[in-house]
């Protein structure tokens, strides 16, 4: 087996681009990734592509072939759908193909167009990630589901809306210099607390925005990188995936996210690292409470202690363990099917040193990406490690 190297990454601006089709957004991100890698198009062997709501927002299923042709490629292409973890699971498959020696060069990414829908329509579209019979038909919304998790967390472990507000403030601050981010503006704890309620205890500033955007990553084998002199300074070294019951009502405890715990344990074992080795993380903060559940599942904090991490400065950019230096889903934005690979694109740049926030993690070598689907009924975790330049050509 070989580790898969990140040969190149590409991102569109994440924001409000209602007129742009998901295929054209993906073209921009994917071509940027190929340019970043400096790889000939003839060498790409497959495209793995995440998309969530194409049938609803664009009346377009079967987007895999569209994704490949958008990049000018004539290769097998598959679309993955696991709600907000769509491109995370696509990455897992792409990574396994390269590590198992079945491919030397693959493009993996995702794209989502959402803002061509009204707010009501996109709320309804996002709700299909929940159980239609037993959740959606009872009036459950996506924010409502996370609100139930937040209320259960507060009841079981304590914590407050102010603790959650500190997460939003942190992630907005991290996005300030990120030109790919939807919100490049600071907010205060008071702004967050005073924002209108969406699903109590969650308010507007606890929620990620509705975002259009795309992301892409080129994975190459170690051998290919060496033979073709590809500057691939970051390797994906571990993958893990966990699953849980679809509906919250069918889980024993909704104040934790065991699927992500399982994914993290598998990914750490795969990479031969432990939680204490991790220097930085991009986690799936679709709502502020989701970041709390994520950092606990990743083993950075005991259950009940992740709620205070942002307020106490542990996960801020100058803290011991910066989380969501990109701005996270909260401030960078959440084009659902593009989010998983966008986390890996951001982490790659952070580790390579060409990210606007790289200065905050100058000595970092190990990073983790945590991508969750629905209310963490699907979870994917990947470990990335900086590779010594000397090794690349070895």
Partner 1 sequence: MSEDVRDAGYDDFLDALAAGEGYYLECSEGHGSLPPRLACPQCGDRDLVETPVPETGTVDSCSTIHVATPSFVDDAPYVVAVVDFGAVRLTGQVRADSEDVEIGSEVAPDVGESATTGERLVTFELR
The footprint of partner 1 (CB under 8 A) covers 119-121, 123-124, 127, 133-141, 143-144, 147-149, 151-152, 155, 196-202, 245, 247-250, 254
Name the phi and psi angles at 80, rounded to 5.
-110, 140
CB of 255 to partner 1, least distance (A): 8
CB of 251 to partner 1, least distance (A): 9
**Annotated catalytic residue, options 84, 180, 203, 355:** 84
CB of 195 to partner 1, least distance (A): 11
User: What is the spatial distance between Cα 351 and Cα 364, in angstroms, rounded to a whole number?
Assistant: 7
User: What is the spatial distance between Cα 237 and Cα 70, in angstroms, rounded to a whole number?
Assistant: 29
User: What is the spatial distance between Cα 331 and Cα 181, in angstroms, rounded to a whole number?
Assistant: 7
**Annotated catalytic residue, options 13, 284, 334, 382:** 334
CB of 106 to partner 1, least distance (A): 34
Quote the Cα angle for 317-380-367, to 5°.
35
Q: Which is nearer to partner 1, 138 or 269 (CB)?
A: 138
Residue 164's alpha-carbon distances to 170, 180, 204, 289, in angstroms, are: 10, 24, 12, 6
Give the alpha-carbon dihedral of 247, 252, 253, 257, to 10 degrees: -60
62 catalytic? Reply is no
297 upstream amide cis, omega within 30 of 0: no
286 catalytic? Reply is no
Q: Which is nearer to partner 1, 129 or 232 (CB)?
A: 129
Whether residue 225 contacts residue 125, with contact meaning beta carbons closer than 8 Å, is answered with no
Q: Which is nearer to partner 1, 61 or 177 (CB)?
A: 61
Q: Which is nearer to partner 1, 149 or 273 (CB)?
A: 149
**Residues noted as catalytic:** 84, 334
């Amino acid at each position: 087996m070989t580790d898969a190297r990140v040969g190149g990454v590409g991102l569109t601006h994440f924001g409000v681009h209602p007129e742009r089709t998901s295929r054209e957004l993906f073209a921009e991100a994917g071509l940027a990734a190929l340019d970043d890698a400096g790889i000939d198009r003839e060498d790409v062997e497959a495209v793995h592509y995440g998309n969530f709501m194409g049938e609803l927002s664009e009346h377009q299923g079967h987007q895999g072939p569209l994704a490949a042709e958008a990049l000018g490629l004539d290769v097998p292409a598959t679309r993955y759908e696991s709600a907000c973890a769509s491109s995370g699971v696509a990455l897992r498959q792409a990574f396994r193909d390269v590590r198992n020696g079945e491919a030397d060069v693959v493009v993996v990414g995702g794209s989502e167009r959402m803002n061509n829908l009204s707010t009501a329509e996109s709320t309804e579209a996002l709700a299909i990630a929940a159980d239609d019979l037993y959740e959606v038909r009872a009036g459950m919304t996506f924010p409502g589901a996370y609100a139930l998790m937040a209320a259960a967390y507060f009841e079981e472990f304590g914590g407050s809306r102010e603790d959650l507000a500190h997460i939003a403030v942190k992630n907005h601050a991290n996005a300030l210099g990120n030109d790919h981010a939807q919100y490049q503006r600071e907010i205060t704890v008071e702004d967050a607390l005073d924002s209108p309620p969406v699903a109590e205890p969650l308010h507007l500033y606890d929620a990620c925005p509705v975002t259009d955007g795309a992301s892409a990553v080129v994975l190459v084998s170690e051998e290919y990188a060496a033979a073709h002199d590809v500057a691939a300074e970051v390797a994906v070294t571990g993958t893990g995936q966990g699953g849980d019951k679809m509906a919250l009502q069918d889980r024993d405890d909704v104040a934790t996210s065991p699927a992500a715990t399982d994914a993290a344990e598998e990914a750490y074992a795969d990479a031969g690292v432990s939680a204490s080795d991790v220097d930085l993380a991009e986690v799936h903060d679709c709502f502020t409470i989701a970041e709390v559940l994520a950092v606990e599942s990743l083993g950075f904090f005991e259950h009940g202690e992740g709620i205070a991490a942002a307020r106490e400065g542990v996960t801020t950019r100058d803290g011991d363990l910066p989380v969501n230096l990109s701005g996270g889903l909260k401030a960078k934005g959440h084009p659902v099917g593009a989010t998983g690979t966008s986390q890996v694109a951001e982490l790659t740049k952070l580790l390579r040193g060409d990210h606007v926030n790289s200065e905050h993690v100058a000595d970092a070598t190990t990073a983790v990406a945590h991508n969750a689907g629905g209310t963490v009924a699907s979870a994917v975790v990947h470990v990335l490690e900086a590779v010594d330049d000397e090794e690349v050509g070895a």
